[in-house]
Amino acid sequence: MFGAWGEPDHDTSIGIIHRALDAGINFIDTADVYSQGESEVIVGKALAGGRRDNVILATKFHGQMGVPASAPMGQPGGDPNRRGNSRRWIVQEVENSLRRLGTDWIDLYQVHRPDPDTDIDETLSALTDLQRQGKIRAFGSSTFPAHDVVEAQWTAAKRGLSRFVTEQPPYSILVRGVEAQLLPVAQQYGMGVIPWSPLAGGWLTGKYRKGQATPTSRRAGRVPARYDLSKPGNQAKLDAAEALAVLADEVGISLVHMALAFVLQHPAVTAPIIGPRTMEHLESQLGATDVVLSDDVLDRIDALVPPGVTLSRYDEGYEPPALRDPFLRRRRV
């Protein structure tokens, strides 16, 4: 949320990062595609002056680079050589990220999404080479289906390559699909799990209430399908957000803290990734690690959004090719 996608003022963004570090947060996650590299530049500025050694620094590659930061996510176009999971792009883009971040190494380098056009063997081989060169310390995946995580683990073992040690899936009270297979698979392979969007893209901040105007944001402009109430599932999200806000009030905690505590209490989760755009956002989320939800509260959450259910497919973060392209799911005579 730093740069053109969120807070455009660098000094303000740096102040938010410094407040987070002072509060005890020691893991920062960004990506090359966030604001087209500007987010990495801001993080690099924030860690200058001796703070770098005390932080686990993570970034990601895969998304289309070299397009306007204002372009909607997933919009077709751009140089096809400046995206994806090929060795050619990985070895080029890691240098760009290192330069923007102002560091000699990346603690966790993540594959932002699967790439059906690139064999996972090629991706793991390139990442293993970068690890052996000392440019990255470890690597992981983000928003990979469970079967892709398993294939990557098997490929690494078969080829004698390093493996994904983390997975970064979408996970929140409203987005629970990963509970069915992905989280158990991550536990089976001893992977760290660092979920993105634990507040469901803002739906669990308390600002989305029935009878009130839908808030506007830059994020809604980039991924409008997640917020358009005419889209399937989004009305159910609004209903659930309303009921969850009432539950949080009854329990005596903020909806933000309840949402973060819910994610934290899953045994597979290492830590959720928060995405504050303002200092107020950050302050409202600090302290959630001290909240423990009772079994009664967790049961009531399960009754509102059943385990393993994602209310809107637009929150899944990745659409398999067979769902996008009819050619891939229709037998040819």
Task: Express each pLDDT in 125-157 by its tens digit.
Answer: 999 999 999 999 999 999 999 999 999 999 999
**Tens-place pLDDT, residues 68-80:** 987 766 677 899 9
Maximum distance among all Cα pairs of the chain, rounded to whole angstroms: 65
Domains of the chain: 1-168 (3.20.20.100), 201-316 (3.20.20.100)
Could you tell me the pTM of the whole model?
Answer: 0.95
Residue whose C-alpha is closest to residue 177's, from 300, 311, 268, 269: 311
**What is d(CA 281, CA 62) in angstroms, rounded to the nearest whole number?**
28
Residue 34 catalytic?
Answer: yes
CA distance 27 to 276: 14
Q: Is the pLDDT of residue 333 over 90?
A: no
CA quadruple 148, 273, 225, 73: dihedral sign: negative
pLDDT tens column, 34-70: 999 999 999 999 999 999 999 999 999 999 999 998 7
Q: Which one, of 116, 163, 115, 114, lies nearest residue 140 by Cα?
A: 163
